[in-house]
């Protein structure tokens, strides 16, 4: 834990990045090669090695097997959550468009869904049911026809029934009992059982993330996501209990998760510094939280709101909570953040689970150039160009000149031959 005093812009020395050490890169590369070469056999072997499970089959044959294992109240909540996500995500889609100019030039953009996607759903230290919703719903709204899920099996060799229920209600096509880097390799290259996909989506641990990084190019991915993180911007109007639990909400994910408090209040800074561990002791994942706080918790005590905003935009946090007196004045000045939670009654779990935006977000400062997963993540675009003879004749000399300057004579002649009468 660190408490940093920020009195001017020169004090802002923030270096947030996500690095993968060479040992992990080597291990993951070896796993990927093993899956490429030995396919299903490698998946069985790695599941035995890493999960200590002798799988009899990789695929879940009956997606309805959850039915006698979940409660009706969960299904009620699930349906409401799906509705919220559908409403929000439907607004993120773009459509094909075409324009016809007076000179008969037709230009446009054709929007089509990606045909086949693979979703990675963590299930090791915590089965992330919500990650099914946050990735599968945007996919089917975009029109993806084949949506597959890879998720680690539990100790009995089965899939969490709540994950299965979410998959069924979110129009997932097939579910496979495979986790880790090996599942990413399987989706990227295909095995006898798991089909090769066009794009892989979803959060995961360091091995999953490294695998996504290494297969990128052979298959598309959503982003390179590092450990989870939260940043809370708070002043004296915040309730201290709320603030501390919000800061702990991401620390419980992983020992390498990060929490940041940005505040103009010395009282708030000191209270959090002196009390956050005692709050954490009461929680089920205290050992994970403690390690996260020890290494990655920072308090930025800033002179004013102007410096606070500079710190926040420098961090470019995955989750940003704005718990200040007039949050509406702050929001428009945030340039870099994955998801922004405004006001004292919008804690991060509202977005993680229920509101509608996806919780699959850029981390480690990458909100400077990555966006959250949305329905638009699952589409691809093609440019459309259609010149009439008249338009072509009017512009041929311009195109020929550009080809001459680049010394590309085949380009040049492709145009020039059409001008010969």
Cβ-contact 315, 16 below 8 angstroms:
yes
Whether 318 is catalytic: yes
- Selected catalytic residue, list 319, 321, 348, 359: 319
Annotation says 253 is catalytic: no
Secondary structure tally for the chain: helices H, strands E: 15, 14
CA distances from 243 to 221, 235, 256, 276, 336 (A): 34, 10, 20, 10, 21
In the set 34, 229, 252, 318, the catalytic residue is: 318
Q: Pairing state of beta strands 297-302 and 379-386?
A: unpaired
What is the Cα–Cα distance from 191 to 144, expressed in whole angstroms? 21
CB contact at 8 A, 276 and 285: no
Q: Using the 8-state DSSP alphabet, how is residue 117 labeled?
A: E
d(CA 364, CA 401): 46
| Strand 106-113 with 97-100, pairing | antiparallel
| Kind of pairing between the strands at 229-234 and 199-201 | unpaired
Buried b (16+ CB within 10 A) or exposed e, 328-339: eebeeebebbbb
Q: Show which residues are catalytic.
A: 318-319
């Amino acid at each position: 834990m660190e408490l940093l005093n920020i009195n001017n812009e020169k004090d802002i020395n923030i270096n947030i990045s996500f690095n993968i050490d060479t040992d992990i890169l080597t291990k993951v590369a070896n796993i990927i090669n093993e899956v490429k070469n030995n396919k299903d056999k490698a998946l069985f072997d790695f599941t035995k090695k890493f999960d200590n499970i002798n799988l009899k089959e990789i695929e879940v044959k009956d997606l309805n097997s959850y039915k006698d294992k979940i409660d009706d109240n969960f299904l009620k909540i699930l349906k409401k959550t799906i509705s919220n996500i559908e409403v929000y995500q439907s607004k993120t889609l773009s459509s094909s468009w075409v324009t016809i100019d007076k000179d008969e030039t037709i230009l446009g953009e054709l929007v089509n869904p990606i045909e086949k996607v693979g979703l990675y759903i963590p299930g090791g230290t915590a089965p992330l049911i919500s990650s099914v919703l946050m990735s599968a719903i945007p996919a089917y709204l975009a029109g993806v026809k084949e949506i597959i899920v890879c998720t680690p099996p539990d100790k009995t060799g089965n899939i969490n029934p709540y994950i299965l229920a979410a998959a069924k209600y979110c129009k997932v096509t097939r579910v496979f009992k495979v986790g880790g880097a090996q599942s990413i390799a399987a989706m990227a290259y295909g095995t006898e059982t798991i089909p090769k996909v066009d794009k892989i989506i979803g959060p995961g641990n360091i091995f999953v993330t490294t695998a996504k990084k290494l297969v990128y190019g052979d298959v598309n991915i959503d982003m390179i996501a590092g450990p989870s993180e939260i940043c809370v911007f708070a002043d004296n109007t915040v309730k201290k209990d709320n603030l501390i639990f919000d800061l702990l909400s991401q620390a419980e994910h992983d020992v390498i998760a990060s929490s940041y408090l940005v505040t103009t209040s010395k009282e708030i800074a000191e209270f959090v510094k002196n009390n956050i561990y005692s709050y954490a002791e009461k929680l089920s994942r205290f050992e994970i939280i403690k390690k996260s706080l020890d290494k990655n918790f920072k308090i930025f005590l800033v002179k004013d709101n102007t410096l606070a905003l500079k710190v926040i935009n420098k961090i470019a946090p995955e989750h940003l909570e704005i718990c200040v007196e007039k949050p509406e004045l702050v929001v428009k000045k945030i340039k870099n953040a994955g998801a922004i939670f405004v006001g004292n009654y919008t804690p991060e779990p509202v977005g993680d689970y229920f509101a509608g935006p996806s919780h699959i977000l850029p981390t480690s400062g990458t909100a400077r150039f990555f966006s959250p997963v949305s329905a638009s993540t699952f589409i691809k675009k093609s440019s459309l160009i259609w010149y009439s003879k008249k338009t072509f004749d009017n512009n041929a000399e311009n195109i020929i000149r550009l080809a001459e300057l680049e010394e590309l004579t085949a380009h040049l002649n492709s145009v020039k031959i059409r001008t010969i009468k």
